[in-house]
Amino acid sequence: MSTEVKDTNTQEPFFDFSELYTGCPVLVSSDPSCSDETFGYVTTPKPTGCDVIAMYGGWNGSLRPFADCWHVDDPRVKERPAIFEDELRGVFRLAPQELTRIAMLERLAGMEQIIAALIERVEELEPLKAKVANLSKGRRSSSSN
């Protein structure tokens, strides 16, 4: 996630949340120190954060909603710590399995580009294939006359 300043006058931070989607796995905590970090899913991605439903207490525990969570690296977390006194607020970061999924998608995109380039190269060789076939049969290529 990258941090960019949206407007120099407001100093309001903007994170690129393009990788967030409904159902995205995250680690969420009710405090910025992440002392009670637990696994959850994004229920609503937003321009400056997300809503999350998290599991507390393992399988015998319960679900807990979080509203307007900020990314743990968002500068607002340090600038406005009092906001986390609200029980519904929290911080999040992408879960390890989501980071792995993103990395695999990037690798797949790179592999698709390599395959497309190889297909182009093979298609360029098609005219030569007919010439080689004719030469192997002892005939001259029609273009070499």
State the pTM of this model: 0.69
What does pLDDT average to over the chain?
82
Please report the pLDDT score of residue 124 as a whole number: 83
Q: What is the pLDDT along the chain (145 residues), one digit of tens a residue?
A: 444 434 444 445 556 666 799 999 999 999 888 888 999 999 999 988 999 999 887 778 889 999 999 999 988 899 998 988 888 999 999 999 999 999 999 999 999 999 988 988 888 887 777 777 777 776 655 555 4
Per domain, the residue ranges of the chain are: 3-94, 100-144
One-letter-per-residue 3-state SS of the chain: CCEEECCCCCCCEEECCCCCCCCCEEEEECCCCCCCCEEEEEEEEECCEEEEEEEECHHHCEEEEEEEEEECCCHHHHHCHHHHHCCCCCEEEECHHHHHHHHHHHHHHHHHHHHHHHHHHHHHHHHHHHHHHHHHCCCCCHHHC
